[in-house]
Amino acid sequence: MRSVGIFEVKTKLSELLRSGEPIEITSHKKSVAVLYPKAATRSLAQVKRDIKAINQADQQDNTADMGDYV
């Protein structure tokens, strides 16, 4: 999964979307979102890794709640 900062997403969104790969969006080196292509399939293991990453990010940022990530 490619990790991209918010500024790069803002300036290159169409290019990133055309790549067809999942994109982790970061802010100040912290994961804030994961963007998946519509047709992307994810294994159960990948879904579990993503949930774990979201939970870890939530623990680091106690001002956010789960709704900020969904």
Neighbours of 23 (CB within 10 A): 20
In CATH, what number is assigned to the domain containing residue 25?
A: 3.40.1620
- The domain in which residue 31 lies consists of 2-68
Give the predicted TM-score (pTM) of the model. 0.55
Tens of pLDDT along 16-63?
Answer: 888 888 899 999 989 899 888 876 677 888 888 888 887 887 777 666
Question: Domain tally for the chain?
Answer: 1
Of 52, 50, 55, 57, residue with least CA distance to 36: 50
- pLDDT at position 66 over 60: no
